Amino acid sequence: MLIAIVNGKGGVGKSTLAVHAAVWLHERGLRVVMLDADAQTSSSEWLARAEPRIKIVRLSHAAEILQQAPRLQIGADVVLADGPAALSATSVALIGTADRVLMPIGPSMMDVIASYRTARMIYRVRFQTSRNGLPEAFTVFNRVQPRTRLSKTAALAILKYGFPVAPTVLQLRQVYAEACGCGSVVWRMGAAAREAAVEINALFSQVLNPRRGSELAGAQSAALQRAKDAVVLKQRARPSGDLIASINKHPPEDLGSLAEEQVADTPS
């Protein structure tokens, strides 16, 4: 099983989700591999300190991902992939090989625009590759301030693609940044991080739901077949340039109302 964390914008919490998800799955007895496809390598450097027993693989090009990702799944229960901070052929390759995609979104207007384009890419990759509804996709609201609301229009712009929003949101908490600085995860940081530990555990219980037993064996067999079928994998990457150009050319139709809604959602 391959779980990819993608968004076309940096600073939305991809590395935070990736590292915590990898350790969370590892602590539940699953064989986890971290695939770091972000040139900044933030998640792999953080994870190497937080849980050295998890294998880390760095792949920066779409062709490498299409070739190696299915093979990595053969020797692991879960491959957890951290995508680049931009829409690219690498993003398309990750989405095209993933079983599940998590798309973190922050509360700023730039986060909203980037997430809308990322959602559109996921939708089009699913449609064009005919993978029987894969990857599954979840929107994760991150860095939410308790006294404000994300734009309703922004949520609807993403929801119209049929991707559910995770019921648990991650609030804006300094402890996540401190976990990175300490090379740890929040549930290992004592009482000061208790609320963060509760919310992120609830989130992962909702959106990760790792498969076990015969389901994992079936997933590994499917991964092996994909590794052998190099022609199909290359075809998935072929439309990446056209997809990205189309998505960047056409912004969300209702950005004007998004800005008004964002202001209206902020208390005076």
> What is residue 132's DSSP assignment?
T
Q: Domain-by-domain residue ranges, the chain?
A: 2-259
DSSP annotation string for 141-160: E-SB-TT----HHHHHHHHT
So what's the pLDDT on residue 248?
Answer: 52
Q: State pLDDT tens for residues 15-46.
A: 999 999 999 999 999 999 999 999 889 999 99
Report d(CA 208, CA 24) in Å as an integer: 10
State yes or no: pLDDT of 14 exceeds 70: yes
- Nearest one of 243, 218, 222 to 232, comparing CA atoms: 222
Q: State pLDDT tens for residues 127-162.
A: 766 667 778 889 898 888 765 555 566 666 666 667
Report d(CA 55, CA 32) in Å as an integer: 7
83 or 243, which is more confident: 83
Give me the sheet containing 2-5, strands edge to edge: 55-58, 32-36, 78-82, 2-5, 100-105, 136-141
Mean pLDDT, range 77-83, rounded to an integer: 95
State yes or no: pLDDT of 101 exceeds 70: yes
> How many angstroms separate the Cα of 116 from the Cα of each of 104, 112, 143, 233?
11, 6, 17, 26
Asked if 104 and 137 count as a contact pair (C-beta separation under 8 A), the reply is: no
102 or 106, which is more confident: 102
State yes or no: pLDDT of 237 exceeds 50: no
Torsion sign (Cα): 58, 62, 67, 70: positive
Asked if 43 and 4 count as a contact pair (C-beta separation under 8 A), the reply is: no
So what's the pLDDT on residue 126?
Answer: 75
Asked if 251 and 113 count as a contact pair (C-beta separation under 8 A), the reply is: yes
User: Considering the domain 2-259 in this protein, what is its CATH number?
Assistant: 3.40.50.300
So what's the pLDDT on residue 151?
Answer: 53
- Nearest one of 258, 262, 238, 233 to 68, comparing CA atoms: 233
Report d(CA 196, CA 74) in Å as an integer: 33
pTM over 0.85: no
Residue 75 makes CB contacts below 8 A (sequence gap 6+) with 31, 33
State the DSSP H helix or E strand holding residue 57, giving kind and residue range, or none if neither: strand 55-58
Residue 108 half-sphere exposure toward CB, CA atoms < 13 A: 10
So what's the pLDDT on residue 107?
Answer: 73
Q: How many CB atoms lie within 10 A of CB 192?
A: 11
Report d(CA 253, CA 6) in Å as an integer: 22
So what's the pLDDT on residue 238?
Answer: 42
